Amino acid sequence: MLKLKNWAGKATRTGLCTLALISANMLSAKEPLKIGYSDWPGWVAWQIGIDKGWFEEEGVDVEFLWMDYVASMDAYVAGQVDAVTMTNGDALVTGGTGKPSVAILISDYSNGNDMVVAAPGIETLADLKGKKIGLEEGFVIHLLLLKGAEMAGIDPSEFTIVNTPTNETPQVLASGAVDAIGAWQPNSGQALKTVPGSKPVLTSADAPGIIYDLLSVDPESLEARRDDWSKVVKVWYRIADFIKDEENIDEALEILSKRVAISPEEYEPFLEGTYILSLEEVLPIWKEAEGLGSVYGSTKIADDFNVEQGVYDEPLNTVQYLDPSLTLEYAESVK
């Protein structure tokens, strides 16, 4: 900068404009990818790559912004981040009501962390017929309840839904205002702690694939910086392999728990309720098929649910929200 200052006064107007343009391009080239992430084990897992410097090793500049979940989706819609971690169903909600995205990787699926937690004395989902369930209408936990009712042969109209913000569900259950709540970790776990004798009568482990967790990217950013996003995908599978190696579990729990300011012992059940997907495990999920075993089938089910709930009016082209190409390219490279 000192050298520029010394001769700047002698430069022509055209020269200064050219210099400014070059400088702007250099700064633009160095702009980090901005990713909003939040408190879900499959997303907190990115902290491992951050702390270990793996993004720097891959030569990609990434800025992870820690936010509440809904705030992270709002930030994506507002253009404040280039990508956001969210569920496949919520990716459709942000697209149908705000700004479309494209998922470039599936980090995990919920394997028990999403729960319907019932008050003491209620043993099964069927016991909730004619009773009140507090949950956030239109969210994935609502979809899980409907799927659970379908599997149990229960008409969901026999439940009385009380629309409740997810972060308030533990207190609402404790107050006795409802007979059960629907929530995900850490709120579901907090409900179990807050109300002695409460128990889960339905969890996402009963319907694996009902909730896939994604990294969803702005399509313009993906097109402009595909090589950088490819490096992000590569780092993710390094993270997944690290977590799934039993020799690393203590270190992984230390990193994850520190991010959310609890002890590793407290965090361990949260990780157990999240099925982190290895590269080998995720490839069949990326194949187009009906049903929950495919992210395409699961996302179509979520789309039907969103329309039914009035989240948006018309079905979306769900295929446009999913792009397995970077994962498939990485898989080919490590054969």
Which tens digits make up the pLDDT trace of 121-177?
Answer: 999 999 999 999 999 998 899 999 999 999 999 999 999 999 999 999 999 999 999
Percent residues over pLDDT 70 in the chain? 91
Give the pLDDT band of residue 25 (cuts 50, 70, 90). very low
20-29, 80-89, 185-194, 206-215, range with the lowest pLDDT: 20-29
Examine the pLDDT at 24 and tell me if it is beyond 80: no
pLDDT at 44: 98
Tokens representing 90 are 């919520």
Strands 102-110 vs 274-276: parallel, antiparallel or unpaired: antiparallel
State pTM to two decimals.
0.88
Helix (H, G, I), strand (E, B) or coil at 110: strand
pLDDT at 20: 43
pLDDT at 259: 97
Q: Could you write out the DSSP letters of every residue in 146-203?
A: HHHHHHHT--GGGSEEEE--GGGHHHHHHHTSSSEEEE-TTHHHHHHHHSTT-EEEEE
Mean pLDDT, residues 21-41 taken together: 73
Examine the pLDDT at 311 and tell me if it is beyond 70: yes
Q: How far apart are CA 217 and CA 209, in angstroms?
A: 21
Q: Which helix (H) or strand (E) holds 116?
A: strand 115-118
pLDDT at 29: 57
pLDDT at 197: 98
Examine the pLDDT at 11 and tell me if it is beyond 50: no
Helix (H, G, I), strand (E, B) or coil at 117: strand
pLDDT at 10: 34
Q: Give the single-character DSSP code of 289.
A: -
Mean pLDDT, residues 251-280 taken together: 97
pLDDT at 215: 98
- CA distance readout (Å), 309 to 8, 12, 217, 287, 298: 62, 62, 25, 27, 17
Q: At residue 106, what are phi and psi to the nearest 5 degrees?
A: -110, 115
Dihedral angle of Cα 250, 251, 252, 257, to the nearest 10 degrees? 90
Q: At residue 244, what are phi and psi to the nearest 5 degrees?
A: -80, -5
| Nearest alpha-carbon partner for 292 in 205, 211, 201 | 211
Which tens digits make up the pLDDT trace of 219-255?
Answer: 999 999 999 999 999 999 999 999 999 999 999 999 9
Q: At residue 223, what are phi and psi to the nearest 5 degrees?
A: -70, -40
Q: For the beta carbon of residue 316, count every other beta carbon within 10 angstroms.
A: 20
Give the pLDDT band of residue 47 (cuts 50, 70, 90). very high
Mean pLDDT, residues 53-67 taken together: 98
Count the helix, strand and coil residues of the chain and give each as a percent rounded to the nearest 5.
55, 15, 30
pLDDT at 28: 47
Mean pLDDT, residues 276-282 taken together: 98
